[in-house]
Amino acid sequence: MPTDATATSSSWDEWTTDQLDLDAYLNRIGHTGPRTADAATLAALHRAHVAAIPFENLDVILGRGISVALPDVQRKLVDARRGGYCYEHGLLFAAVATRLGFTAQRLLARVGDLERPRPRTHLVTVLTDPGGEAWLADPGFGSGLLTPLPLRADAEATQGAWTYRLRRLDDGRWQLQEAAAGEAWLPLYAFEIAVYHAVDVEMSNHFTSTWPGSPFVQRPVVVRKDEHAVRRLVGRQLTVLRPGRPDEVRDVEAAELGAVLHDLGVDLTPDEIGILGRPA
């Protein structure tokens, strides 16, 4: 287990993992396999989560805001079969892993390179099994990991058309990097092993979902990824990215927005689609 910083033991569970309906979550992602705290189960859960639950910020654009309280996250992503963005995905997956016997460290990361640091606006999770093996789990980046990555410096893993590695920086931080189709390594985000609390996640979520300069406040974002492609709806522009091939980009007409959202795994009411379809 990473030991740079650990939380003090307490009977109080600030992450409210006891409120998770594990059976409902597993049904949502279609997982019928083992419920054990091992690498194979973790990989299967992570991959099924990414396949079943979209990355999306639509409640921000619809004026509802985002709650990071676990019961609210479960009602939305599991019961209502919606998607969410990083905080929602990460908190839900961390709670699931904890219930299965992993130790979860919820960490805030800086997206992009480190030359001009951005705020810590992304949630990742380091999960450690009972034997001490640790992985970076992150089903909520949208276009990132399909399965967890061992928390080991310079270990590379190919996932579909993409290859990932973790670098240990001189200052001790970890950086996740991605490469595809012979391209150079691209830094996705950096994080450090430290103690974060639920209130830290609440503050980061509030900033990300309300600050006028946040990309998630400005326009709708929906992302789906599989082993071959990333499909990304940003505003009314739909892009399909396949490594080694030209990007496919087209504008989505208001009349087809509901169908496009459905294809990306999000079903909304006609009124909600109408709000999203309004000119910017």
What are 187-198's pLDDT values in tens digits?
999 999 999 999
Tell me whether residue 169 is in a domain.
yes
Q: pLDDT tier at 11 (50, 70, 90 boundaries)?
A: low
Tokens of 184: 């150079």
Closest by CA position to 50, among listed 146, 126, 127, 125: 146
Identify the pLDDT of residue 273. 96
Tell me whether residue 67 is in a domain.
yes
Mean pLDDT along residues 229-247: 96
Task: Check pLDDT > 60 for residue 5.
Answer: no
Identify the pLDDT of residue 9. 44
> What is the per-residue pLDDT across 20-39, written as a single tens digit (0 to 9) for each?
999 999 999 999 999 999 99
> What is the C-alpha end-to-end distance of the chain, expressed in Å?
47
Tell me whether residue 10 is in a domain.
no
E strand or H helix that includes residue 106: strand 103-111
Task: Check pLDDT > 90 for residue 256.
Answer: yes
Task: Supply the range of the domain harboring residue 224.
Answer: 17-276
DSSP states of 220-246 as a string?
A: -EEEEE-SS-EEEEETTEEEEE-TTSP
Measured in residues, the chain has a length of: 280
Tell me whether residue 248 is in a domain.
yes
Query: 183-195 in b/e burial notation, b at 16+ Cβ within 10 A?
Result: eeeebbbbbbbee
Torsion sign across C-alpha atoms 169, 178, 144, 253: positive
Tell me whether residue 32 is in a domain.
yes
Task: Please name every residue paired with 103 in a beta bridge, in sequence order, or none if there are none.
Answer: 128
Identify the pLDDT of residue 52. 98
Positions marked active-site:
86, 122, 138
Identify the pLDDT of residue 50. 98
Mean pLDDT along residues 264-279: 93
Tell me whether residue 198 is in a domain.
yes
Contact between residue 174 and residue 167 where contact means Cβ atoms under 8 Å apart: yes
Identify the pLDDT of residue 97. 98
> What is the per-residue pLDDT across 56-83, written as a single tens digit (0 to 9) for each?
999 999 999 999 999 999 999 999 999 9
Mean pLDDT along residues 239-260: 96
Tell me whether residue 9 is in a domain.
no
Tell me whether residue 7 is in a domain.
no
Task: Check pLDDT > 70 for residue 255.
Answer: yes
CATH number of the domain encompassing residue 258: 3.30.2140.20
Mean pLDDT along residues 190-212: 97
Identify the pLDDT of residue 220. 97
Q: pLDDT tier at 114 (50, 70, 90 boundaries)?
A: confident
Tokens of 204: 């980061």
E strand or H helix that includes residue 157: strand 156-159
Identify the pLDDT of residue 117. 86
Identify the pLDDT of residue 12. 80
Q: pLDDT tier at 280 (50, 70, 90 boundaries)?
A: low
> What is the per-residue pLDDT across 120-147, written as a single tens digit (0 to 9) for each?
999 999 999 999 999 999 999 999 999 9
Cα 134 to Cα 31, 58, 127, 150, distances in angstroms: 22, 33, 5, 6
How many distinct structural domains can be found in the chain? 1
Contact between residue 112 and residue 118 where contact means Cβ atoms under 8 Å apart: yes
